[in-house]
A and B are shown apart, each in its own frame.
Chain A
Amino acid sequence: MFRRSGVVVLVAALTLAACQSAVSTGALQGVAIENPTEKGSFVLTDTEGESYDFAARTEGKLTLLYFGYLQCPDICPVHLAQIAEVLGEDAELARKTEVVFVSVDPDRDTPEAIREFLDRFDTAFVGLTGSHDQLKTAQEAAGVPPARILGEGDDYTVDHAGWVIAYAPDGLSYSIYPFGTRQSQWNNDLQLLAKLVGEQGS
Chain B
Amino acid sequence: MNKSNAALRFLAVVALVLTAGCSGETDGLQISDARVGAPTGPNAAMYFTARGSDEADSLRSASTDVANEVQIHETVTSDEGTMSMPSIPRLELPAGGQLVLEPGGYHLMLVDVDQLEVGDTISVTLTWEVAGEMTVEAEVVDPSDTMGEE
| Interface, chain A (partner B; CB < 8 A) | 3, 6-7, 10, 13-14, 70-78, 80-82, 84-85, 113, 117, 120-121, 145, 147-148, 150-151, 157-163, 178-180, 182-184
Docked complex Cα distance between A14 and B40 (Å): 29
Given the known A-B contacts A73-B41, A77-B40, are A147 and B82 also in contact in the complex, defined by CB atoms under 8 Å? yes
Docked complex Cα distance between A161 and B82 (Å): 4
Q: Output the nearest chain B residue to A118 by Cβ-Cβ distance.
A: B40
Contact partners of B75 in chain A: CB under 8 A = 74-75, 179
B96 adjacent to chain A (CB < 8 Å): no
Given the known A-B contacts A73-B37, A75-B104, A184-B150, are A7 and B82 also in contact in the complex, defined by CB atoms under 8 Å? no
Is there contact, CB below 8 Å, between A71 and B150? no
Q: How far is the CB of B44 from chain A (nearest CB, A)?
A: 5
Contacting A at CB under 8 A, from B124-150, are: 142-144, 146-147, 150
Q: Output the nearest chain A residue to B74 by Cβ-Cβ distance.
A: A74
Contact partner, A145, options B82, B107, B142, Cβ 8 Å: B82
Contact partners of B73 in chain A: CB under 8 A = 74
B123 adjacent to chain A (CB < 8 Å): no
State the interface size on chain B (CB cutoff 8 A): 33
Question: 6 closest A-B pairs (Cβ-Cβ)?
Answer: A162-B83, A77-B143, A159-B84, A81-B144, A70-B41, A73-B45
Contact partner, A74, options B78, B80, B82, B85, Cβ 8 Å: B85
Q: How far is the CB of B114 from chain A (nearest CB, A)?
A: 14
Contact partners of A161 in chain B: CB under 8 A = 81-83
For B39, B42, B78, B81, the residue with the greatest tally of chain A CB atoms inside 10 Å of its CB is B81
The B interface, classified by DSSP as helix, strand, loop or mixed, is loop
B30 adjacent to chain A (CB < 8 Å): no
For B39, B80, B87, the residue with the greatest tally of chain A CB atoms inside 10 Å of its CB is B80
Given the known A-B contacts A77-B37, A121-B40, are A82 and B80 also in contact in the complex, defined by CB atoms under 8 Å? no
Q: Output the nearest chain A residue to B113 by Cβ-Cβ distance.
A: A73
Contact partners of B77 in chain A: CB under 8 A = 162, 179
Q: Output the nearest chain A residue to B106 by Cβ-Cβ distance.
A: A74
| Interface, chain B (partner A; CB < 8 A) | 37-45, 73, 75, 77-87, 103-104, 107, 109-110, 142-144, 146-147, 150
Contact partners of A82 in chain B: CB under 8 A = 144
Contact partners of A145 in chain B: CB under 8 A = 80-82
Given contacts A73-B44, A73-B109, A178-B81, 13 further A-B contacts (CB under 8 A): A72-B85, A73-B110, A77-B37, A78-B143, A117-B41, A120-B38, A157-B85, A158-B84, A162-B82, A179-B75, A179-B77, A180-B147, A184-B150
Q: How far is the CB of A109 from chain B (nearest CB, A)?
A: 9
20 contacts between A and B (CB under 8 A): A10-B80, A14-B81, A71-B42, A73-B39, A73-B107, A74-B75, A74-B103, A80-B40, A81-B40, A145-B81, A148-B82, A157-B85, A158-B84, A159-B83, A159-B84, A161-B83, A179-B75, A179-B83, A182-B150, A183-B144
Contact partners of A74 in chain B: CB under 8 A = 45, 73, 75, 85, 103-104, 107, 109
Docked complex Cα distance between A157 and B82 (Å): 13
Q: How far is the CB of A91 from chain B (nearest CB, A)?
A: 19
Docked complex Cα distance between A6 and B40 (Å): 29
